[in-house]
């Protein structure tokens, strides 16, 4: 009996212990769950704003001289003087190189002397023709003599014309001994020094002259950009901005040339943009990034691109309500770039959207705004979709 009473007492003590432990832990778990349901999640937000946003295409271009000429000699001879500074500016018509003139002056003198000789013979033949004409009228000279003298005059007249042509050729050759710049531009390094012999058949040239005011930038874009750029040219100038590798603007120009065919191998079409290049920010052979402005979207809804999320049903954004509850809003995106997205449908101006911290929230989550982003919406261009 005493053993039975002891067992009953031990069992009762165990039940009391379990009841006490249960009462202790039960409220703690409920409180933790309740707190987890009401805790706000920190996020960064920004406002949807109305703005004017330019739409543009991006590409990579190569700077080319507006005109480029490899200066060569048109006659054979020895260079006696180089009259340009390497890397300097020249004007059209400036003498760059002088070739020894002596052989060409001698050829010109010989041609002029031959003409004087033939001219003297022509004068004498004309006198004979006048005499035989008068004698033939009286019968003192035969018709054959008159015809022969008339033919001789014509022959010598032809010879004098040949002499004049030779004189003109000799003068042209003499002028070629002064090699002039055909265009205004900047010369490069010289390829030949004074004392060298040059020939008209040489292909290496003496120096290259590049016109860099204005200057071209050549670039290629996918063929489906052709309708957009042609439409832009009809409406006015298509503005093209050249950028360095850090995205800083170097120069602003306009689309000038659309190639007359699409490259079937690459599916691209070549374009050229023209820049004034007044301060020489662009140099032939330089690679630049290009921003080609197609149009300006006026008074559109613009948001930071980080606010736009991609889901299985398309783009969406988290919109923060007045009660700090987020709602998932599907969007129709018109255009976007690295910083800005144009929203055609789904947002209104002034609505707050989450721009950072989306991975921690879902529709219905309570949020706490820890920072308001310094929005750049509407201050920069957007890429064409």
Q: pLDDT means per 10 residues in the chain (385 residues)?
A: 49 40 34 51 92 90 96 96 95 96 96 95 91 82 85 94 96 96 95 94 95 96 92 88 93 95 95 95 96 88 92 93 92 85 92 91 89 56 56
Taking the C-alpha atoms of residue 339 and residue 378, their distance in angstroms, rounded to an integer, is 10
Cα–Cα dist 36/33, whole Å: 5
CATH 2.40.50.100 residue ranges for the chain: 73-100+177-205
Give the Cβ contact number of residue 174 at 10 Å: 18
> 39-58 burial, b for 16+ CB within 10 Å, e for fewer?
eebebbbbbbbebebbbbbb
For domain 41-56+298-383, the CATH architecture is Beta Barrel (2.40)
Q: 3-state class of 73 per DSSP?
A: coil
pLDDT at position 3 is 53
Measured CA to CA, the distance from residue 385 to residue 297 in angstroms comes to 13
Q: What pLDDT is attached to residue 279?
A: 92
Alpha-carbon gap, residue 168 to 159, rounded angstroms: 14
Q: Is 59 exposed, middle or buried (0-12, 13-18, 19+ CB in 10 A)?
A: buried
Report how far Cα 285 is from the mean position of its chain's Cα atoms: 11
**What per-residue confidence (pLDDT) applies to 122?**
92
Which strands sit side by side in the sheet containing 77-82, from one edge to the other? 178-180, 95-99, 77-82, 197-198
pTM above 0.85, yes or no: no
Q: In 3-state terms, what secondary structure has residue 274? A: strand
What stretch(es) of the chain map to CATH 2.40.420.20?
Answer: 41-56+298-383
Cβ distance 205 to 191 under 8 Å?
Answer: yes
The number of residues making up the chain comes to 385
264 burial level (CB within 10 Å; 0-12, 13-18, 19+) = exposed
Range list for CATH 1.10.287.470 in the chain? 102-175
Q: Which fold has domain 73-100+177-205?
A: OB fold (Dihydrolipoamide Acetyltransferase, E2P) (2.40.50)
Residue 373's region, left for phi above 0, alpha for psi from -120 to 50, else beta, is beta
Domain 102-175, CATH: 1.10.287.470
């Amino acid at each position: 009996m005493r053993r039975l009473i002891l067992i009953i007492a031990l069992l009762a003590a165990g039940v009391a212990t379990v009841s006490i432990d249960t009462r202790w832990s039960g409220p703690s778990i409920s409180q933790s769950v309740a707190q987890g349901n009401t805790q706000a999640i920190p996020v960064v937000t920004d406002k949807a704003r109305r703005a004017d946003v330019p739409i543009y295409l991006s590409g990579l271009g190569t700077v080319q001289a507006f005109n480029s000429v490899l200066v060569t000699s048109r006659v054979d001879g020895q260079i006696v003087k180089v009259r340009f500074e390497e890397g300097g500016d020249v004007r059209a018509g400036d003498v760059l190189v002088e070739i020894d003139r002596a052989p060409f002056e001698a050829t010109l003198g010989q041609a002029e002397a031959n003409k004087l000789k033939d001219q003297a013979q022509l004068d004498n033949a004309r006198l004979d023709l006048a005499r035989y004409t008068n004698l033939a009228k009286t019968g003192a000279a035969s018709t054959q003599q008159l015809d022969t003298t008339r033919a001789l005059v014509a022959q010598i007249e032809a010879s004098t014309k040949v002499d004049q042509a030779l004189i003109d050729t000799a003068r042209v050759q003499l002028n070629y001994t002064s090699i002039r710049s055909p265009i205004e531009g900047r010369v490069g390094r010289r390829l030949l020094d004074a004392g060298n012999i040059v020939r008209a058949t040489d292909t290496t040239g003496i120096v290259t002259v590049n016109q860099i005011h204005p200057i071209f930038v050549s670039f290629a874009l996918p063929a489906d950009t052709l309708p957009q750029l042609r439409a832009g040219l009809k409406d006015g100038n298509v503005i093209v901005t050249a950028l360095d590798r850090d995205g800083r603007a170097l120069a602003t120009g306009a689309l000038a040339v659309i190639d007359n065919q699409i490259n079937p191998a690459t599916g691209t079409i070549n374009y050229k943009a023209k820049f004034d290049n007044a301060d020489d920010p662009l140099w032939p052979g330089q690679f630049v990034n290009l921003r080609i402005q197609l149009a300006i979207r006026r008074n559109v809804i613009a948001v930071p691109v980080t606010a736009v999320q991609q889901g299985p049903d398309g783009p969406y954004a988290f919109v923060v309500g007045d009660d700090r509850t987020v709602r998932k809003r599907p969007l129709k995106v018109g255009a976007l770039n690295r910083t800005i997205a144009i929203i055609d449908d789904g947002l209104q101006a002034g609505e707050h959207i989450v721009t950072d911290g989306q991975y921690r929230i879902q529709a219905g989550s309570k949020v706490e705004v820890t920072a308001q982003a310094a929005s750049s919406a509407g201050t920069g261009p957007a890429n064409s979709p």
